[in-house]
Chains A and B, each alone.
Chain A
Amino acid sequence: MRARVGVVQAGLWTLCVLALLATAGCATISPPQPWEKGQLAKREMQFDADPLDAKATQHIYTSKEGAGGGYGIGGGGCGCN
């Protein structure tokens, strides 16, 4: 059991490191001109492109975990937390 926990934690740390490396390696700061924003306008580049999915998913996590927040404000409270 302890070994399995160690593998999971090692895997998660690896995931975090890979994510940071990907962020650092891929992203250069070179603000585009208006005619260079075609890719940015695509749906998959938007944050919360699917509002129904985003809200429902965040609520599921809010109902199962200690505290939520960070995505936005103004949605009101619930009896779930």
Chain B
Amino acid sequence: MAPIPRAIEEKSSLTLFSAALALPGMLPLAVAAQTAPDQGVIALKYFDYRDWQPGANRMSVRSPSLYVLRPLSDDLALEGTVVYDSMSGASPLAFNTLSGASGLGVTDYRTAGDVKVTKYFDRFALGVGGAYSRERDYISHALSVEARTWTADKNRTFAFGLAGTSDAIHPTDRPIDNGQRRTLDFLVGVTQVMNANAIVQSNITYSAGHGDYSDPYKLLDTRPDHRRTLAWLTRFNQYVSSADATLKLLYRYIHDSFGDHSHTFELAWYQPLPNAFAVTPSLRYYTQSAADFFFGPPFGNGLVPGEPYTADTRLSAFGALTPSIRVDKQFDHGWSADVSFSYYQQRSSWRLGGSGSGGLLPVSARWISIGVAKTF
């Protein structure tokens, strides 16, 4: 494998993981609310994330975050989040051979936040949001508008959204080689109350972007200058009265113009326990095909000058499993606390319906979160 210069490899790790715990990115629309909240919420959470490959620890991220929801009037609500990420470690191995500066220490940080104001009317709601994220080499701005409307019985809600994102990329190892990326996102969704104990939601999002998608720190990485992503997500929550529990199911399909189409399945079981405790075990399975321009080891294999090429293993074919467990505890006076643990492993051989990309090491990660919240 061709050696990768130290600066390139070190910075690659920052780019790869810098936003792992950052808040901007996929700000979920509040889907079912048809009236302004009558209570405010303030929540603090601390994430501790680490990933590794066989024989080598990779990246660690520590991330405190804050969420505030505040009713401004009977029909107006404000919500926002702030996060600070502190990262250290090294990039994942590109292939099975330690290369360049992998394994050497790097540090970086990121600050980010988003805010959204929602105005509620009799049969619809309008929201306007903004997001900002800054790290040493990447700045992102986003604006979004959303509209929701519901039937007279409030059992069916339609959601429509439009967002624009402008990203500026400033590689730290070169003074003038800046890049940019522009993205438009569209959302259409429906949430249906099926009965007194079940609710289902289905969203379609379409993302159209153009600009620089190549990783400036990865050797030979050349990706198309545009990307179209269609995602269809369906979620279903069912209260199970016999167990006084809630079953949560999720399925998501993604069609990506890069070629890495994916399926995601999630299953969770929320089980109340005595003394205001609750436990939620869950399992997520993810499988994707490889991008059209991904080539596995040896490095440089399949490279055609002038054609897209990447050895980024995130665009390889693989499957991944995430078992998680979360414990919640309710206290008096609106206080609550939660702790969760998740373990993630990614293997080529776990790809569903076909063999994954060969010659790649598994990637493992675990993250722990501790949170406290107060309604007011």
Contacts and interface: CB of A to CB of B under 8 A. Distances in A.
Contacts of B22: 59, 78, 80
B249 A23 contact: yes
Given A48-B28, A79-B137, A27 B198 contact: yes
Interface stretch (B118-126, B285-293, B301-309): B285-293
A53 B320 CA distance: 19
Interface in A1-52: 1, 5, 8-9, 12, 15-16, 19, 22-23, 26-32, 34, 36-40, 42, 44-48, 50-52
A62 B203 contact: no
Interface of B is mostly: strand
Given A44-B278, A69-B205, A77-B165, A27 B193 contact: no
Interface string B224-247: 000001011101111110000011
A13 to B, nearest CB: 8
A31 B155 contact: yes
Interface residues of B, number: 116
Contact of A80 (B15, B79, B187): B15
B200 to A, nearest CB: 7
Nearest to B44: A52
A36 to B, nearest CB: 4
A79 B169 contact: yes
B338 interface: yes
Nearest to A9: B352
A72 B195 contact: no
Contacts of A52: 23, 43, 45, 65, 67, 81, 371
A26 B194 CA distance: 10
Contacts of B79: 51
A63 B258 CA distance: 16
A19 B250 CA distance: 9
Contacts of B67: 51-52
Which of B169, B258, B270 counts the most A-chain CB atoms under 10 A from its CB?
B270
Which of A19, A42, A52, A70 counts the most B-chain CB atoms under 10 A from its CB?
A70
A21 B349 CA distance: 27
A66 B262 contact: yes
A56 B112 CA distance: 12
Contact of A70 (B32, B233, B286): B233
Contact of B141 (A53, A59, A76): A76
Interface stretch (B1-9, B70-78, B93-101, B127-135): B127-135
Contacts of B153: 31, 34
Given A50-B43, A59-B26, 17 more contacts: A26-B238, A27-B198, A27-B236, A47-B201, A48-B31, A51-B28, A52-B65, A56-B47, A56-B83, A59-B21, A62-B25, A68-B254, A70-B233, A71-B28, A74-B144, A76-B114, A81-B314
21 contacts: A15-B265, A27-B238, A34-B153, A40-B193, A47-B32, A56-B369, A58-B26, A59-B21, A59-B22, A63-B17, A65-B320, A66-B262, A67-B254, A67-B256, A68-B25, A69-B26, A73-B186, A74-B185, A75-B163, A78-B25, A78-B140
Interface of B: 14-29, 31-32, 43, 45, 47, 49, 51, 63, 65, 67, 79, 81, 83, 114, 116, 129, 131-133, 135, 137-138, 140-144, 146, 153-155, 161-163, 165, 167, 169, 181, 183, 185-187, 191, 193-201, 203-205, 207, 229, 231-233, 235-240, 246-247, 249, 252, 254, 256, 258, 260, 262, 265, 267, 270, 278, 283, 285-286, 288, 291, 314-315, 320, 338, 340, 342, 344, 346, 349-350, 352, 363, 365, 367, 369, 371
Interface of A: 1, 5, 8-9, 12, 15-16, 19, 22-23, 26-32, 34, 36-40, 42, 44-48, 50-81
